Amino acid sequence: MEKPVAGTSGGRRKGLSKVNYNRYGYYFVAPFIIVFLIFQLYPIIFTFRTSVSDAIGWDKINNSVIIGFQNFKMYFDKSSPLFLDFWNSFGNTLLIWLANFIPQILMALVLASWFTDTRMRLNFRGGFKMLIFMPNIITAATIAVLFYSIFNYPIAPANSFLQQAGILHAPFEFFRSTTAARSIISFVQWWMWYGNTMIIMIAGIMGISPELYEAGLVDGCSSRQTFYRITLPLIKPILLFNLVTSMIGGLQMFDIPHLLTEGNPNKTTNTIARFIYQQAFTGSRNFNYASAASVILFIFIVMASLALFWVMRDRDPAARALRRAGK
């Protein structure tokens, strides 16, 4: 009986099975591509198209006419009725985001360095991580109800405690004070997200080569020196990731300000996302103005992200080599 010659039937079967096997990768990727096209790419294209149309009201949403960039002029013309509301909402969003992101990243860095430092013998690390991360998995509606009940007027735990401590002599309306309302929203945002930021930081620190820490230990580096000389430079990409994703999420902030204050007092906690919501789904249903504001926000996020990548890029060849060694 003759043996199959290499490169004939046996070779063809091997090649065919390899081709058939490789195509399974496309099957796994296909659901993501389909979902991306339907739920991300199409809405983006539709938003860009609506932003240059006269789509006002549900009856015009699919029968609108292109009118150019007149909708965008509403946000750059000081005489426009939307000018102040838009830019005030934009400023409120940036202020509330910065007020919660700065302490968020600092707290996450401190906790991540503690939990990953082998010289600090902390007990129940897993339990502490779980408790710190838990606010991130609670729904925003639940958290809003919790903090509204804490700071409600006139009878609530916050007012009762402050009056018993002698700090207040009468109940204080927290949600009618601009400073108090912004501070509460910033605190809630910080409380919800610093655990998530900490977990990402821990993952980045644990990806650093232990040999670098051993070398620092041999050289007599303290915990503080190890953090500033080894850990911080090597987690720069993780810091950039947290900064960019937090900025994107912060500029899209909607749920907590909407549920807690509805943009009050006097629209001082109204965010840009809530402004877009008001234009699109209240009153006259100004889908064109809402889409134009969304496009402006989209362009700002893209430009700010690119600027952050450029500012935090590696300028020192030695730092790049050190980071590659850390990997």
Question: Which amino acid, one-letter code, is at 315?
Answer: R
Place of tokens 């195509």: 23
Q: Are residues 138 and 214 in the same domain?
A: yes
* Residue 242 domain-assigned (yes or no): yes
The domain that holds 205 is classified in CATH as 1.10.3720.10
Mean pLDDT for all residues in the chain: 88
Average pLDDT over residues 259-281: 95
Read off the pLDDT of residues 292-302 as tens digits, 9 standing for 90 and up.
Answer: 999 999 999 99
Q: Are residues 149 and 46 in the same domain?
A: no
* Residue 66 domain-assigned (yes or no): no
Residue 257: pLDDT over 90: yes
Q: Are residues 130 and 11 in the same domain?
A: no
* Residue 62 domain-assigned (yes or no): no
pLDDT-derived band of residue 226, with 50, 70 and 90 as boundaries?
A: confident
Average pLDDT over residues 146-165: 94
pLDDT-derived band of residue 224, with 50, 70 and 90 as boundaries?
A: confident
- Domain range enclosing 79: 73-326
Q: Are residues 14 and 93 in the same domain?
A: no
Q: Are residues 183 and 255 in the same domain?
A: yes
* Residue 56 domain-assigned (yes or no): no
pLDDT-derived band of residue 284, with 50, 70 and 90 as boundaries?
A: confident
How far, rounded to the nearest angstrom, does the alpha carbon of residue 237 sit from its chain's CA centroid? 16
* Residue 65 domain-assigned (yes or no): no
82 or 8: which leads in pLDDT? 82
pTM score of the predicted model: 0.85
Q: Are residues 120 and 188 in the same domain?
A: yes
Q: Are residues 44 and 175 in the same domain?
A: no
Place of tokens 């065919």: 16
Q: Are residues 246 and 321 in the same domain?
A: yes
Q: Are residues 34 and 105 in the same domain?
A: no
How far, rounded to the nearest angstrom, does the alpha carbon of residue 306 sit from its chain's CA centroid? 16
Q: For residue 121, what pLDDT is reported?
A: 73
Residue 15: pLDDT over 60: no
* Residue 229 domain-assigned (yes or no): yes
What is the per-residue DSSP string for 53-78? Answer: B---SGGGSSS--B--SHHHHTTT-T
Tally of domains in the chain: 2
Q: Are residues 31 and 173 in the same domain?
A: no
At what angle are helices 9-22 and 24-36 packed, to 10 degrees?
20
Q: Are residues 179 and 292 in the same domain?
A: yes
Read off the pLDDT of residues 117-150 as tens digits, 9 standing for 90 and up.
Answer: 777 777 777 888 889 999 999 999 999 999 999 9
Residue 16: pLDDT over 60: no
Q: Are residues 132 and 7 in the same domain?
A: no
* Residue 82 domain-assigned (yes or no): yes
* Residue 43 domain-assigned (yes or no): yes
